[in-house]
Amino acid sequence: MDNDSSSVCPCSATFYPLQYAALVNFPLRHSRVHHRFRIKTAANLTKFHNKKKQKPINHKKMPQQFLIVLEKCVEQDDGSNEIWSQFKCSDSVFEYVFGIEYPTGTTAGERIARIPTSGANLDLYAGIERIFNKNGQVVSKLKGIMTNGSWTLFQLLSDKGFKLAEQRNYDVVQFCSTLNGRKLVERIFVRDL
């Protein structure tokens, strides 16, 4: 082979001009390096394509149901304040615990249902949570389902198979003369399926 001649790499049919004497004298060295590079590149592409072709992940259903009970400071019609319990849960959990569908289109203060329990009746109300700014002015109001019978609620949850999993203080009552400084508690109840 001459220095002006070109050699053909058999793996890609690409022409490589041989300008250096070392490549002219040792054409196999060129091939080994070239093929080693192609093998590494092909392996990287295979890894990339294998990641793309993974089967979709089928998520299992959760083996537990959760119900979160938040204490809220509620102002009564006469101006007094009381601590009530508000619940957060899925519609299916709400229906399982209370035996009714999650209510919609309720007005504040409306009694939604009276749930009979082993000890007493548990009344559910449509309540309004007031959110204050730093100056004590009401910034927004959120509607939620509440009850004033915490102990009765805990008995009902126990009867339905829920256990207290976690409890923490999440807020402090402010701008309320009688309950100012009282810590509000969040409780998470769990039921195994």
Q: pLDDT of 31-59, one tens digit each? A: 555 444 454 555 555 555 555 556 677 76
Say if strands 121-132 and 64-75 run parallel, antiparallel, or are unpaired: unpaired
Q: Please provide the distance, in angstroms rounded to a whole number, between the alpha carbons at the two ends of the chain.
A: 79
Range with the poorest average pLDDT among 8-22, 98-112, 116-130: 8-22
Instruction: Please report whether residue 1 resides in a domain.
Output: no
SS3 category, 61: coil
User: Based on the structure, what is the number of domains in the chain?
Assistant: 2
Q: Are residues 131 and 183 in the same domain?
A: yes
**Residue 89 vs residues 34, 95, 97, 146: alpha-carbon distances, Å:** 62, 10, 10, 12
In a domain, 79, yes or no: yes
Q: What is the pLDDT confidence band of residue 105, given thresholds at 50, 70 and 90?
A: confident
Does residue 59 lie within any of the structural domains?
Answer: no
φ, ψ of residue 67 in degrees (nearest 5): -140, 125
Residues 77 and 156 in one domain: yes
User: Is 57 inside a domain boundary?
Assistant: no
- CA dist 6 and 134 (Å) reads 81
Return mean pLDDT, the chain.
Answer: 74
Cα(80)–Cα(133) distance, integer angstroms: 20
Residue 59 CA to residue 71 CA, distance in Å, equals 33
In a domain, 21, yes or no: yes
What are the tens digits of pLDDT across the range 113-125?
A: 998 887 788 999 9
Assess if residue 15 is contained within a domain. yes
Please give the pLDDT value at position 46: 52
pTM value?
Answer: 0.62
Per-residue pLDDT tens for 133-146? 777 676 666 678 89
User: Do residue 164 and residue 131 come from a single domain?
Assistant: yes
Same domain for 155 and 118: yes
Q: Are residues 71 and 151 in the same domain?
A: yes
Name which residue leads in pLDDT, 147 or 107: 147
Q: Are residues 150 and 181 in the same domain?
A: yes
Q: What is the pLDDT of residues 72-103, one digit of tens each?
A: 887 777 777 788 899 899 999 999 999 999 88
Residue 155 and residue 71 share a domain: yes
Same domain, 111 and 42: no
Q: Are residues 75 and 148 in the same domain?
A: yes
Top pLDDT among 191 and 109 is at 191
- Owning domain of residue 40: 6-52
Q: How far apart are CA 80 and CA 179, in angstroms?
A: 10
70 plus 127 within the same structural domain:
yes
Do residues 177 and 133 share a domain?
yes
The mean per-residue pLDDT over the stretch 168-190 comes to: 85
Question: φ, ψ for residue 80 (rounded to 5)?
Answer: -75, 165
Residues 27 and 108 in one domain: no
The model's confidence at residue 15, banded by pLDDT at 50, 70 and 90, is very low
pLDDT at 28: 46
Question: Residue 163: its pLDDT value, please?
Answer: 96
